[in-house]
Structure 1
Amino acid sequence: MATLDLINELRRGRFDHVLLATYNFSADFFEGYCLRSLDAFRYADNVVAFVDHGIYAKLIAAEGRDRPKLAGRGYYLNPVSCHGVFHPKVYLFTNKRQGLLVIGSCNLSKTGFTNNAEFAGSFRFDLGKDQTHGRLFADVYRWFTRLDASESVSQAIEAAGQDCGWLRTTHDAPTASEPRFLSNLDEPLWPQLRVLAGDGISKCTALSPYFDRQPKLIDELDDLGLHIYSERKATTMTAAWLEHPSVVDGRVQITLTRYDEDGHERGLHAKAVVLHGADACLLAYGSANFTTPALFATPNTGNCECVLAIPGLPVEFDARASFDPTEQGVPAVVDDLGDGDDGFEHVGASALRLVELCLGKAGEFVADIRGALEAKSRVMLVIEVADHEPARLELRTAGEKWSARAPEALVQRCARLSAVGHVELGSPSGDTLVSNSVFVHVIAQLDAGAERRLVRRVQVALESAEQFHAELVRLLEDGEDEQLVRFFQLCNITISGRPRLRRGRLARPSLAAEGKGRVMGRRARALALSLHAAALDFIDRHRTRLARHAREPTVEGVPTFMHVVRAIFDVCDAQLQRMVAGLDQQTLRPERWKQCRDFVAAYLMRLEQVMEILVEVYLPSLAERDDLERAAPELRIDVSALRERSQVMLRLRDDIEEAKPMVSNELGQRLRAPYFRNDLLNEARWEIWRSGMIRSLQRLEASCR
């Protein structure tokens, strides 16, 4: 089986919604690395992480790097309780058209993502292009909706489904070999795996680092040949397993091995089973260890677990090659066993449960409290923020919720730093009942997702001309015109000596949406006009910046100067192509047709002015300083992109002709839309504009040779 580089996988793609389920959670790794450096995380504005309630309690009490700094402000952190532990490792990333899904054994930690020997798989979805795993994504999303979540977390999950409608698509029955997502929310995993594997199963091969203290599973599976793999010196398997009669007489094999790579020892954390049948094999991997709470229980009686099951594998599927890849396996002996500690944190439930604590936009804390409130005499809310003294506020009942007005200073502290709160319940006897603690959900910051997403898009667009183009394409494809207006308003590209961003060659999709999603006719024309003022303002701001810098250029400033030039070309191209789509087979009133002609002229004239600044001022100024030869290699990088965009512009009049717009006169007659002598699209004036652009391109290319 192929090796999955999970870090590189998470560097590909940009998503709006991220739903995570993990047992262990490293706040430093997640906040300091994932949210900052991995594209799959860092562009999302709706992030929810489900963790085991015992781990959540440890995070609440943690200090320094181990304590979450952004929980409740930059993402939701939701604890889940069950009889055992909440143990899944599922990571779902989505936007309106695409998805990435990772299922396996790796916790959300540095060791889980980089160091351990793990078993995981990744799947992608692309609406209209690659929908092979659509059912898998839908099943995983449905599973997230069923987890025990607070009200605001449930709303965040619902928002992902509303924004990404493809997650809720109904699918046909799965094929015999289609991967399946299985969980134990309703039924233990093992019977589900047996049914999916079909009849004729004769053997089970298992890989696991953790085991029950007593070998009960050997008795449960006495109808199967059993071969178990684990790690030498680290397994939690006890001597009782080796003393079981089926192991002693050789009917059950136990192999201990090592997991190293290029001399680097990797601790085993993978969990998987293979069921061998007469006609096919089934592989299942995920969070479930080879234990009773994982395979033979539900969350009410054991752990919460999930696996990915792949049925229909060939009979000759070699489990040993995956479970003992280093081929260092040897029969288990007592001296190679570990200490038998499963390493899980087991935390009891509080009689007074604080489900969620939100700080609303109006500066009011709202608490969802469950438990022994009938004996209350006074309910106090205690808020702790970093090194500040705890704040104590009396809660008042508000229907099913409890609330307290927050002082402004406390509101400001909660907005800057992750805050923690708990509830204290006084009783007539004088005893005080204390609830569990939770991170405060600061709704104003969690709801500011769309603006945060836009700010991140602007930051990315400022990095390079390629990134500007890519972000503009995404906004156009999403059809978010209000966001486009804000994008033009916020995006200010400075001309400086910043070096060019080197990220390899990015694909340059067309700025005109194609296929069935393309907006045509009156709607496209209206969209272009709605952006007109913001687009021209963006162009004029940056054209002025170009003119100012062109007279005193530097070689170091070439990348950002050309970044601005190409950004202006991209904006003009996007607007002009939208207008052409808006004229397709349309009949316009004369005043509307004039508005469209003036619209086109506004962008073409600005393109002409930008090219004049570039070839009449900027290049000669570089030559006067004897810098043109040194600048040529940097200029050449951008020339091909400008040529590509210019070729589109030079075909514009032909594109409008092919659109065949019509004009209705006062008599109601439909006539071919005419051009007038002063129109830039008039044949004579158009030829002058076109010839000038061609000459400018030729001069630019000649300067870069």
Structure 2
Amino acid sequence: MNNLVDHLFDRSKNFQMGIFCTYSLNLEFFENYLLNLSGVTNCSNLCVFTDRAIYNSHFNINSSSKPKWINRRYLVTPIDTGGVFHPKLYLLASDKEIRIGIGSSNLTREGLASNLEIVSIFEITEKNRVYSGFLKECLNFLRDVAVISKSYSAIESVNKFIAFTSHFIVSDVNSEIHLIHNLKEAIMPKVIEALKGNRVKSIKVISPFYDKKLKVHQFLKNTYPNAMVTIYIQQGKSNFPVENYDFFNDRTEIYLYKNQDRYIHGKAIIFETDKKTYLLTGSINYTKSALLTGNLKANIEIAVLGEINANISNELCQPKGQAVGKLQNIGQLSVVSIEERLTLDDDLIVAWLIEVLYINKQIQISLNENSYLTPKYVVINGDEKNKIEYSSFLNKKAINKSELVFAHIEGYDNNKKIVKSSKVWIVNLDKEREFARKKRFCINDPSEISLILLELMTNDSEQELIEYLLRFNIPLDLVVFNPRGKGIGAIESKGNVFGELIQQSESVFKNPELLEAAQQFLVGNIKKLYAHYNDLQLNKLENFMLIYGTIFNMMNVFNDYIVRQHSKNPIKAKDWAIMRNYYDMMLQKIEEILFLIWVPDENMSFEELLNDKIKNDKQQLLGSIYSFKNYIVKKDYEYMYKLSLDISRKIIRNLDIYIEKAKIMTVNKTIVKAPIARNGMKDNFIIRRKIILKLVKGLLSDFEKWER
């Protein structure tokens, strides 16, 4: 499937709840990218189930990459099993639609963006409930997983999701596809039962992983001795057990994917029968632990079983039109050793501590009952010096809520040996989740910043506005903005961006912390423009344009808000001083950005650097595009670019109007003309405004002459 992000986490949707199951989990990617997509960001109930070892591994990463919103904006719950928790299942719901994704993709950048994966996606709406039976099977599986976790928060999250989606369930609809899992019984015997009455003629297998003794292969050969089995293997990226394969078996053949750089991580078994063709696909590798084991003794796996046509079968076996060749000699097969899965620390009692909740200024601790273990202390954030005497309920007023990040238990066993539990992230899902739901700290279209700031300035406190500006972040590798065909570049103000804004008695701009936050917002984003300049990559130009447009949209909102707040004379002297600070800051940033992009000094301008890069690009990553200006035209950034210049000109024009016409009331109640400092201590860029305006007008004039 192409572009899993678009198909699964549709940016045009506004889902309200989500439940995900994954083995591998990249929380940095999840927080900085997926959580900021329009389809996910508004989810007020978002729960992720993952493997215990993967969960524990996030405590070991460096501090700069540690998750910031785990168990605050979204819930992550570990699952313990005899093998690994391996399902890849994604459910997203609004009150009008449910989307289900099931397949091989983990919740990682590789799983959703770079690997070749097999994912089946189903939609249920109020008008089309064909897959409501399949939905019910998925919800039953999730309920069972939540119960296995013993997590109160996870059970509550799944129950909320089930209640929210109950109106999509139709009891009399018989689904033609089915979810199969191994929480109790193994998967493959269920498949054999479902195929009864069909004569299996051939079996096609796609899998990157195999068990050493090919137990599943033996099982299928014994069950369907007359069926031809074809195994598709990616050369050099599979752990196929060459030493245990009978190459001279005349009912089995191997085909190789060669010269494929992308890792083929998809898993599928196709059963061609005398009646129909059936597909079994999901998280299942061609291994005993995935297909022949159940009841939590090995891996937890899921798959979908349903009928497909011959075209889909061929597409699955030849992804992206990938050519395959039959293996003629076993010596031609190149394999790799099996990937070692993450292991748990033997010194820790892994399943002892279930959950730590912070509710109503109280810490609630949930432990697995174990007659051999006695809890003694609760340790917050690894602070061994300030251990807290254990109790299942702790009223700890001395601990600030924001400081509650993770915890573990210390105690002793029957032999009085000191023991420790695994760490858990403290669950703190109240105001943080609601706050994050409304305000996105990353965007994929510059115009979105205008809408968010408008909402904050109109309906929220100045402290929330400050916090938003400080936490806003566009990752340098985020490339999701493409305005082609949308006609969106920014929100252009006609003098009042806010419409009917409720006037506040005191302007939020009087808070000096807000000026500092605005300064940090601009400085941080401009640093990212310099980062692109210093490490110019053609495939990241969209990210550069996204950051560029965001900066000018932000300044546009601030300028319009100032004008709205101070549209009448007289203006208090202290207010005028604050206004000048903002205007001086904005003019400085306008000049700095435009000089960086267009005006060479002792260093090349961004435009010159990029033009050289394009000229020397032998791969022609940008196709027929031959310059930065041509890129702006052909990629439909013209509107956004021109608007950035119009915003710059408008800011200077508004400032000029204030300087020429504003009446300033001093502390002595006298009225004076609007003063500006000319001693070099302040207003440096206000004084330079005519020079900056000349630069802007020159760029606008040049823009009109661009080749189109």
C-alpha distance in 1, partners of 2:350/2:483?
A: 55
CA apart distance, 1:249: 3.3
**Match of 2:437?**
453
Larger CA deviation: 55-64 vs 107-116: 55-64
Structural mapping, 1:492-531, within 5 Å: 505=486
Is the 2:14–2:39 Cα contact (8 Å) retained in structure 1?
yes
| Residue in structure 1 matching 2:237, options 218, 234, 245 | 234
2:388 to 393, 410, 414: 393
Amino acid at match of 2:98: G
Which position in structure 1 is the counterpart of 2:13? 13
Q: Offset at 1:410?
A: 4.4
In the TM superposition, 1:123-272 aligns within 5 A as 123-128=122-127, 130-147=128-145, 148-149=148-149, 150-174=151-175, 178-198=176-196, 199-222=198-221, 223=225, 224-242=227-245, 244=246, 247-258=247-258, 260=260, 265-272=261-268
- TM-score (norm: length of structure 1): 0.60
Q: Distance in 2 between matches of 1:318 and 1:362?
A: 57
Where does residue 362 of structure 2 map in the other structure? 364
In the alignment, the residues of structure 2 paired with residue 403 and residue 134 of structure 1 have an alpha-carbon distance, to the nearest angstrom, of 41
Q: Relative to structure 1, is the Cα distance of residues 319 and 65 closer, same or farther in structure 2, using a 3 angstrom cutoff?
A: same
Distance 1:126 1:375 in 2: 49
CA contact (8 A) 2:315 2:321 kept: no
Q: CA–CA distance in 2 between the matches of 1:210 and 1:248?
A: 22
Note if contact 2:177-2:306 (Cα within 8 Å) is conserved in structure 1.
yes
1:201 is displaced (CA, Å) by 1.1
Is 1:295–2:285 an aligned residue pair?
no
SS in 2 for 1:202: strand
CA contact (8 A) 1:83 1:299 kept: no
CA positional deviation for 1:423? 1.0
Identical counterparts, % of pairs: 17
Q: Distance in 2 between matches of 1:451 and 1:139?
A: 33
Contact 1:239 1:337 in 2 (8 A): no
CA contact (8 A) 1:211 1:342 kept: no
1-structure distance, mates of 2:169, 2:68: 33
| Structure 1 residues 660-692: Cα deviation after superposition (integer angstroms, max 9, x where no partner) | xxxxxxxxxxxxxxxxxxxxxxxxxxxxxxxxx
3-state SS of 2:321 partner? coil
Contact 2:16 2:43 (8 Å CA) reproduced:
yes
Q: Which residue of 1 aligns with 2:428?
A: 442
Separation (CA, whole Å) in 2 of partners of 1:296 and 1:269: 20
Q: CA RMSD in A?
A: 4.4
CA deviation map 1:331-376 (0-9, x unaligned): 1624533233143234488657334333423333211111434553
Deviation at 1:489, TM superposition (A): 4.2
Following superposition, the deviation at residue 205 of structure 1 comes to 0.6
CA distance in 2, matches of 1:326, 1:125: 32
Q: 1:112: how far off?
A: 0.7
How far off its partner does 1:295 sit? 1.0
Secondary structure, in 3 states, of the residue corresponding to 1:12? coil
User: What per-residue deviation string (whole Å, max 9, x for no partner) do you get for residues 191-244 of structure 1?
Assistant: 2222333421122110000000112233212223211111111111122243x2
Partner of 1:411: 401
Q: Is the 8 A contact 2:253 2:326 kept in 1?
A: no
Give deviations 1:283-320, integer Å, cap 9, x for gaps: 12110001111111114232111112222535995377
Distance verdict in 2 for CA 1:221–1:437, change over 3 Å: same
2:115 equivalent in structure 1: 116
Q: Encode CA deviations 1:124-167: one digit per residue, 9 max, x unaligned.
A: 23323x33333323322221111023011110111122233335
Q: Is the 8 A contact 2:42 2:438 kept in 1?
A: no
Letter in 2 for 1:395: Y
Query: For the Cα contact (< 8 Å) 2:17–2:46, is it kept in 1?
Result: yes
Q: Secondary structure at the match of 1:121?
A: strand
CA distance in 2, matches of 1:543, 1:410: 32
Q: Could you tell me whether the CA contact under 8 Å between 1:21 and 1:49 is conserved in 2?
A: yes
Closer, same or farther: CA 116–296 of 1 in aligned 2, 3 Å: same
Q: 1:272 to 1:432 in 2, by over 3 A?
A: same
Q: Answer yes or no: is the 8 Å Cα contact 1:354–1:367 preserved in 2.
A: no
Aligned to 1:579: none
One-letter amino acid of the counterpart of residue 237, structure 1: F
In the alignment, the residues of structure 2 paired with residue 87 and residue 211 of structure 1 have an alpha-carbon distance, to the nearest angstrom, of 15
Deviations 1:511-553 (A, max 9, x none): xxxxxxxxxxxxxxxxxxxxxxxxxx994637999xxxxxxxx
Q: Flag the 1:90–1:65 CA change in 2: closer, same or farther, 3 A.
A: farther
Pick aligned residue for 2:409 from 423, 427, 452: 423
Q: Which residues of structure 1 form unaligned runs of 5+?
A: 397-401, 473-485, 495-499, 508-536, 546-554, 565-629, 635-705
1:91-146 deviation per Cα after TM superposition (whole angstroms, max 9, x unaligned): 11112121222111011111111111111122223323x33333323322221111
Q: Is 2:12 the counterpart of 1:28?
A: no
3-state SS of paired residue (2:200):
coil
Change (3 A) 1:154 1:168: farther
C-alpha separation in 2, matches of 1:53 and 1:355:
12
Distance change >3 Å, CA 487–CA 322, structure 1 → 2: farther
User: What is the match of residue 520 of structure 1?
Assistant: none
* Paired AA for residue 235 in structure 2: R
CA distance, structure 2, for counterparts of residue 81 and residue 204 of structure 1: 33
CA contact (8 A) 1:207 1:272 kept: yes
Write the letter of the residue equivalent to 2:20.
L
Structure 2 counterpart SS, 1:206: strand
Whether the 8 Å contact between 1:22 and 1:88 is mirrored in structure 2 is yes
Q: CA shift at 1:427, angstroms?
A: 5.2
> Shift of residue 50 of structure 1?
0.5
Bigger Rg, structure 1 or 2? 1
Q: Pick from 355, 380, 389: which aligns with 2:377?
A: 380
Contact map agreement 1:27 1:65 (CA 8 A) in 2: no
5+ residue gaps, structure 2: 466-480, 489-497, 507-551, 562-638, 644-708
Tell me if the contact between 1:44 and 1:453 (Cα under 8 Å) persists in the aligned partners.
Answer: yes
Compute the TM-score of the two structures, normalised by the length of structure 2: 0.60
| CA distance in 2 between partners of 1:374 and 1:293 (Å) | 30
Q: Note if contact 1:84-1:299 (Cα within 8 Å) is conserved in structure 2.
A: no
Alignment match of 2:351 (pick from 350, 353, 358)? 353
> 1:47-85, CA deviations, whole angstroms, 9 ceiling, x for partnerless residues?
111101121121223324553222122211111111111
Cα distance between partner residues in 1 of 2:330 and 2:378: 55
Q: Which amino acid is 1:392 matched to?
A: K
In structure 2, the CA distance between the partners of 1:366 and 1:200, relative to structure 1 (3 Å rule), is: same
Q: 1:295 and 1:428, CA in 2 relative to 1: closer, same or farther beyond 3 A?
A: closer
Secondary structure of the residue aligned to 1:193 is helix
Q: How many residue pairs align between the two structures? A: 487
Give runs of aligned pairs for residues 42-81 of structure 1, distance below 5 A.
Answer: 42-64=41-63, 66-81=65-80
CA drift at 1:183: 1.6
Classify the secondary structure of the residue corresponding to 1:195. helix
Code of the residue aligned with 1:105 in structure 2: it is: S
Distance 1:328 1:172, change over 3 A: closer
Partner of 1:649: none
Q: Measured at CA, do residues 380 and 134 of structure 1 come closer, stay the same or move farther in structure 2, by a change above 3 Å? A: same
Aligned CA distance change for structure 1 residues 557 and 358 (closer, same or farther; 3 Å): closer
Q: Given the superposition, is the C-alpha separation of residues 88 and 335 from structure 1 closer, same or farther in structure 2, using an over 3 Å criterion?
A: same
Question: Could you say if the C-alpha distance between residues 279 and 395 of structure 1 is closer, same or farther in structure 2, counting changes exceeding 3 Å?
Answer: same
Judge conservation of contact 2:104–2:267 (CA < 8 Å) in 1. Answer: yes
SS of 2:355's equivalent in the other structure is: strand
Contact 1:354 1:438 (C-alpha < 8 Å) held by counterparts: no
CA distance in 2, matches of 1:188, 1:302: 10
Cα distance in structure 1, aligned partners of 2:312 and 2:48 = 39
* Cα shift at 1:412: 3.2
Partner of 2:304: 308
Q: Is the 8 A contact 2:132 2:173 kept in 1?
A: no
Q: Does the aligned pair in 1 maintain the 2:75–2:154 contact within 8 Å?
A: yes
